[in-house]
Structure 1
Amino acid sequence: MVKARTSAAELVGSGHVRVNGTRETSPGHAIKLGDVLTIALDRTVRVLKVTGFNERRGDAASARVLYEELSGANRN
């Protein structure tokens, strides 16, 4: 959703991320398979279900197969 870990941490710290409907304030919170993330970005809200994890960090294309978009934004 964002390009850098620091940007992701800022989103969480500023209250723009919910995990399973609960506002998350700790950037180090563990995410599990099946968790639903709600992320407020700019003027949109994205709702994503975690469907997998990579062993290593990868590019955006490889990350797209690790979640299911539940909201209308960027949905194919």
Structure 2
Amino acid sequence: MESVRIDSWVWAARLAKTRSQATAACRAGHVRINDVAAKASQPVRVGDEVRVRLHGFDRIYRVTGLAIRRGSAAEAAKYFEDLTPPPLPRVERPADIIRDRGAGRPTKRERREIDRLRGRDTE
């Protein structure tokens, strides 16, 4: 076996829950092979780089094995190498600013201070 359909491989590698979801992801342009948008029937080979958009984030995988049928998670881990860079560290923000109840609307100066504390500084 030299190549496999990309939708079948995405499903067998457990990147998509169902085969139809894998096909829909290919149709929507969420799957790319070597930085080229992939159709569901496009073949994938060992060594190809596959980008899959999952839950709003791009994941990058290198194909290390080919599979047609879906197996266990341990078996599926043999089919790819995860090249996704680690996420950037989250910036700590101060807790929400709490104003006294009944204090009314913030003044222009107070609103600018609140925006500055929340990181929405426009200046």
Shorter-chain TM-score: which interval?
A: 0.7 to 0.9
**Once the two structures are aligned, what percentage of the paired residues are identical?**
32
Deviation at 1:60, TM superposition (A): 2.4
Structure 1's consecutive aligned runs of 4 or more residues displaced over 6 angstroms after TM superposition are: none
Unpaired segments ≥5 residues, structure 2: 1-14, 87-123
1:11 aligns with 2:18: no
Deviation at 1:42, TM superposition (A): 1.3
Distance 1:55 1:14, change over 3 A: closer
Deviation at 1:59, TM superposition (A): 2.3
Task: Indicate the RMSD between aligned Cα atoms, in angstroms.
Answer: 1.5
Unpaired segments ≥5 residues, structure 1: none
1:17-56 correspondence runs (5 A): 17-24=31-38, 26-54=39-67, 56=69
Whose helix fraction is larger, Structure 1's or Structure 2's? 2
* Counterparts of 1:5 and 1:55, CA distance in 2: 11
TM-score (norm 2): 0.54
* Counterparts of 2:57 and 2:75, CA distance in 1: 23
* Counterparts of 2:68 and 2:47, CA distance in 1: 17
After superposition, the C-alpha distances for 1:53-73 in whole angstroms (9 at most, x for unaligned) are 236431222111111000036
TM-score (norm 1): 0.84
Distance 1:17 1:54, change over 3 A: closer
Q: Which entry has the higher C-alpha Rg, 1 or 2?
A: 2
Whose strand fraction is larger, Structure 1's or Structure 2's? 1
